[in-house]
Amino acid sequence: KDAKGDKYCLAFTDWSELRKWDNNNNQEAILSTFDNYAQLVLNDANDFSGFVINPYGENLIFKKELVASLKVQKEERMRSKIYLGEPKELPSDLLEAVSNYIIELPNVNAAYYRLMLQANVQSHLIIVDVTEETNDTFDKIADIAFPFLDGKLFKLTTIDTDLGQDAIKNLDPFYKK
């Protein structure tokens, strides 16, 4: 609860943030998505005012009204058609930075690049051929890519998804083990 008595769901980005709240080494947690939090917050029976990410760190608050708006925006984007293509000029700095990272990973066999357009928003799309998917791999690729995005969004997927399969048709990888 906050000082006004409003109740919020708690969300933590990692174990160190969770332990700022409860420093119990036997603490258990579940991985949750925005959709899970939206369902909790938007269910009036729960009486939540929103959710807060890292309440004892960054303290990023998502009030109920914002959660509802983001949920609608996400649903609209998910319904919109996706267009895949190649840019006039490949983002060589981005692809080089990602290649330099994934060359060290034993679980990455190849990586492909496409430009993606969805709901009039351009994104860089990297499709990864992995033997074992880990969140750490994707998180680190996103961190490395961030300085090279040039105002575009960044999306990652694996080749075993429908989007991944569509995206790599007739495409050579920019990285191959």
pLDDT digits (tens, 9 = 90+) for 103-126: 988 889 999 999 999 888 899 999
In tens, the pLDDT along 81-108 reads: 899 999 999 999 999 999 999 998 888 9
Strand partners, 144: none
Q: What is the pLDDT of residue 96?
A: 97
Q: Residue 77: CA atoms inside 13 Å, Cβ hemisphere, count? A: 13
Mean pLDDT of the chain: 91
What percent of the chain lies above the pLDDT cut of 90?
A: 68
Q: What is the pLDDT of residue 150?
A: 87
Q: What is the mean pLDDT of residues 124-139?
A: 85
Averaged pLDDT for residues 1-13: 93
Region 56-79: mean pLDDT is 90
- pLDDT for 133 beyond 70: no
- pLDDT of 51 strictly over 80: yes
Contacts for 137 with CB less than 8 Å, ≥ 6 apart: 102, 105, 107, 108, 128, 130
- Please write down the HEC assignment for all residues of the chain: CCCCCCCEEEECCCHHHHHHHCCCCCCCCCCCCHHHHHHHHHCHHHCCCEEEECCCCCCEEEEHHHHHHHHHHHHHHHHCCEEEECCCCCCHHHHHHHHHHHCCCCCEEEEEEEEEEECCEEEEEEEEEECCCCHHHHHHHHHHHHHHCCCCEEEEEECCCHHHHHHHCCCCCCEEC
pTM, two decimals, is 0.62
pLDDT at 71: 93
Residue 36 has a pLDDT of: 94
